[in-house]
């Protein structure tokens, strides 16, 4: 049935409760894998998208950002914050919501929470990159930073790439204990570690995901050996990094969108003309990813709007499958499109 203007005024809304039900209906690992297929498909049509660095409003406390994009038929954006001090004050470090809209008439077609969804899509993006960049047959991953993203990364890498062992380290032992407990029964060998050096020992994939908004050295040069894949996902704003600069100079660096990553990613430590490769070009077969067993590959991920677009597109496709959403009456719908005042007056 063709939607009428009155039905178009009702917008599907996925609340936090709905999102949790969707995740538990499908399963978190399976959901990460399915979102990864959407992200990969959209990377393959990269040139169709409008692309711009996220619009950021920085303060001493953190950052509030809008991340817009469009493929010409559907427009999407995410609102997201990043406030590292929030945890100590009892708030989430990152919260988000997102919208999809029909380009043809400008009407929104989905409103969704994205705090949970961002965690899922970040893990999904990581596994898409690792699919092309990580050493073949990798079985052990180190997770440096065991906060809100940790478990999603571990489950995604197990589901898609067959990771068997995850080695955990956080400066807060309680975070490591939390992650280890949450990962029980998910088919992984979980090894809590007391130092970052211990965590990376024997790992073919190293993921860094820390929250402090500062130039930090989570990994020093001597901690990264030949053949390792680095998945650096914690650096996502100016003035925030995790890797020593010398690691970058030894690595082949892959990014989402260079104009954004040069501002926010690990490569803000390097000259603007330092060579990087866009991940979509590897996925599309236009350039090589991992070439040999000794190569150090670095996915300098800051999160990009197309990935959120992919995740929202995926969620919209799951509404009928799961039924976990409500419809919001959020668009004015006068019988006469010119008579908005009359509609308001008659409602009184």
Name, in order, each residue with C-beta under 8 angstroms of 206's C-beta and a sequence gap of 6 or more: 141, 142, 144, 200, 219, 224, 228, 229, 230, 231
Q: What share of the chain is helix, strand, coil (3-state, %, to 5)?
A: 40, 25, 35
| 3-state SS assignment for residue 232 | strand
Name, in order, each residue with C-beta under 8 angstroms of 73's C-beta and a sequence gap of 6 or more: 102, 103, 104
236 is catalytic: yes
CB atoms within 10 A of CB 346: 10
Backbone angles phi, psi at 312, to 5 degrees: -65, -40
How far is the C-alpha of 170 from the C-alpha of 174, rounded, in Å?
8
Q: What is the arrangement of strands in the sheet containing 55-58, beginning at the earlier edge strand?
A: 55-58, 63-70, 74-82, 96-102, 108-113, 10-14, 326-329
Q: Which of 170, 236, 300, 308 is catalytic?
A: 236
Catalytic site residues? 236
């Amino acid at each position: 049935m063709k939607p009428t203007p009155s039905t178009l005024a009702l917008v599907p809304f996925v609340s936090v409760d709905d999102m949790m039900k969707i995740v538990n209906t499908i399963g978190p690992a399976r959901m990460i894998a399915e979102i990864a297929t959407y992200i990969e498909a959209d990377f393959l049509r990269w040139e169709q998208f409008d692309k711009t660095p996220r619009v950021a409003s920085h303060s001493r406390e953190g950052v509030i950002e809008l991340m817009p994009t469009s493929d010409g038929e559907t427009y999407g954006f995410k609102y997201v914050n990043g406030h590292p001090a929030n945890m100590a004050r009892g708030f989430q470090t990152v919260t988000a919501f997102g919208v999809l809209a029909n380009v043809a008439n400008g009407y929104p077609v989905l409103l969704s929470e994205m705090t949970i969804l961002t965690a899922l899509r970040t893990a999904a993006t990581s596994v898409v990159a690792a699919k092309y960049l990580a050493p073949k047959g990798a079985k052990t991953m180190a997770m440096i930073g065991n906060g809100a993203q940790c478990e999603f990364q571990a489950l995604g890498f197990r589901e898609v790439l067959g990771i068997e062992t995850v080695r955990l380290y956080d400066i807060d032992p309680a975070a490591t204990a939390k992650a280890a407990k949450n990962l029980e029964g998910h088919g992984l060998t979980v090894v809590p570690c007391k130092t970052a050096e211990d965590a990376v020992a024997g790992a073919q994939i190293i993921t860094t995901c820390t929250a402090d908004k500062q130039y930090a050295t989570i990994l020093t040069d001597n901690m990264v050996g030949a053949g390792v894949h680095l998945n650096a996902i914690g650096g996502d704003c100016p003035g925030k990094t995790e890797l020593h600069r010398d690691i970058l100079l030894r690595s082949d660096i892959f990014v989402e969108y260079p104009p954004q990553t040069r501002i926010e990613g690990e490569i803000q430590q390097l000259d603007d003309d330092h060579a990087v490769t866009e991940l979509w070009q590897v996925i599309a077969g236009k350039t090589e990813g991992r070439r040999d067993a000794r190569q150090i590959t670095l996915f300098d991920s800051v999160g990009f709007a197309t990935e959120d677009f992919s995740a929202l597109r995926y969620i919209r496709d799951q509404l009928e499958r799961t039924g976990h959403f409500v419809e919001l009456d959020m668009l004015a719908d006068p019988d006469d499109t010119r008579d908005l005042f009359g509609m308001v007056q008659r409602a009184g």
